[in-house]
Amino acid sequence: MSATQDQRAGGVLLHPTSLPGPQGIGDLGPEAHAWVDWLAACGCRLWQVLPLGPTGYADSPYQSYSAFAGNPLLISLHLLAEEGLLREEELQPAPDLPGESVDYSRVRDYKQPRLALAAERFFAGSAPHLKQAYEAFRHEQAHWLEDYALFMALKEPQRGAAWVEWDPALARRDADALRKSMASLVSRMDDHRFQQFIFFRQWRHLREHAAERGMRIIGDVPIFVAHDSADVWAHPELLKLDERGYPAVVAGVPPDYFSSTGQRWGNPVYRWEAHRQQGYAWWIARMRSALAAVDLVRLDHFRGFEAAWEIPAAAPTAEEGEWAPGPGGPFFEALRAALGELPLIAEDLGIITPAVEALRDGFELPGMKVLQFAFGGGADNPYLPHNYPHRCAVYTGTHDNDTTRGWFESAPQAERSFCLRYLGSTPQAVVWDMIRAAWSSVASLALAPMQDLLGLGSEARMNLPGRIEGNWRWRMRREALSEELAGAMRELHGLYGR
């Protein structure tokens, strides 16, 4: 376990889309910088986000069009105006978008034309101070940026159709077909390259601001990629696809804490032997990119690196499937040889076997503990704080859980009773006492979703696994960042040495 993971610290889980702001979605502009300042005032040293990629199916950050790209909807139009690429009056009138949720369709309708206008002006010569930085970005990121820009440009005339539904020559990346498309889509590819340049420029400035405030950012790398992504289109040989390019099997998990029928994610599954033959080059590039953007990485679905649940592509749920071996120790050895220290948090929730634990512990990776799972058994429950090792990250709940208040209000009576007895709490105080239990534990890292700091109920839940619509929408109001709450968090951090 590296010093990065070992240092005792506390923080908050909040995706940037949930930040306040006038344009229907949180972004990387002034409100994000104010958020970092508020976290610093709380004494927090950690800010955890969800995957930052461009969202595809159902607006899920876990179903991205690229494992490398950033989400253009997070670009601050205000900062683009400061760069001289938009005028403030062009940001008005902002549509009457909701302040407490994200309407992704309406946000796209508002932001995309303005992003395109900024790109048009840039390539026409505006903001010349950015030209050299743009050219350097394009050169340094060419290994993924060119495929991504072409992929996104090709999707537009196809009305967003998945790549397997394109002209077969383009779907199979016929060289002549790609050359012709690139010649006809120059401006659209430039637009997508520009958006990525601006996203990472704004993200870098925000991360630097966080570092100046003593903050480390925890990112999130999903193990699997979306089928309809530049990654799968550009590297089909690395995945288990049929002759038409469709997944032969799909990823998920069997029935578990979150769903009685399991979770059928639908992502294609890796051909790990093909990755091994290439020296895990694609994964090394992916992790290098992630660690250039954040300080620590939550490695989602860690158990899939030991064995993954493969579901027949035609199966409607995850109940039918089988465990298929993952890459195991040689994969992490290759990462460590290429990247050095591995500042990772292993998301080891769900069905965990001794082999998964051995893989995690063999590379000294902290696992995860979720307090909402702690009260469904007896004193030997591994999620109870008195059973924690130092090498772990404890959460009151995650983005996949209900809020802690929502969980408590809907939990079986036996769990509620045990929870109150264990914490010495009352129903009115249970959320804050759960936070206190996490912070006071021996776990090196302690985090809570912002919804829990605010004591919100199920209406503020970020994601309900298995639900197709209505996820990833929650936003907080600016007034939530109160000095009173900051003071309470400062007290916890001081009291428990975080």
Which positions are annotated as active-site residues? 300, 347, 400
Given CA atoms 5, 494, 399, 23 in this order, what sign does their dihedral have?
A: negative
d(C-alpha 395, C-alpha 11), whole Å: 10
Residues ≥6 apart with Cβ < 8 Å to 237: 271, 274
d(C-alpha 474, C-alpha 451), whole Å: 9
d(C-alpha 143, C-alpha 147), whole Å: 8
Residue 320, phi then psi, degrees to nearest 5: -100, 130
> Which amino acid is residue 140, in one-letter code?
E
End-to-end CA distance of the chain: 18
Cβ atoms of 26 and 36 closer than 8 Å? no
What token pair was written down for 77?
């139009």
Helix (H) or strand (E) holding 266: strand 263-268
What token pair was written down for 212?
């100046």
Cβ atoms of 68 and 241 closer than 8 Å? no
Cβ atoms of 438 and 498 closer than 8 Å? no
Half-sphere exposure at residue 189, Cβ-oriented, CA atoms within 13 angstroms: 19
What is the SS3 assignment for 229? Answer: coil
Selection from 83, 102, 211, 200 nearest residue 148 by Cα: 200
Cβ atoms of 240 and 268 closer than 8 Å? yes
Cβ atoms of 414 and 378 closer than 8 Å? no
Place of tokens 């002549």: 176
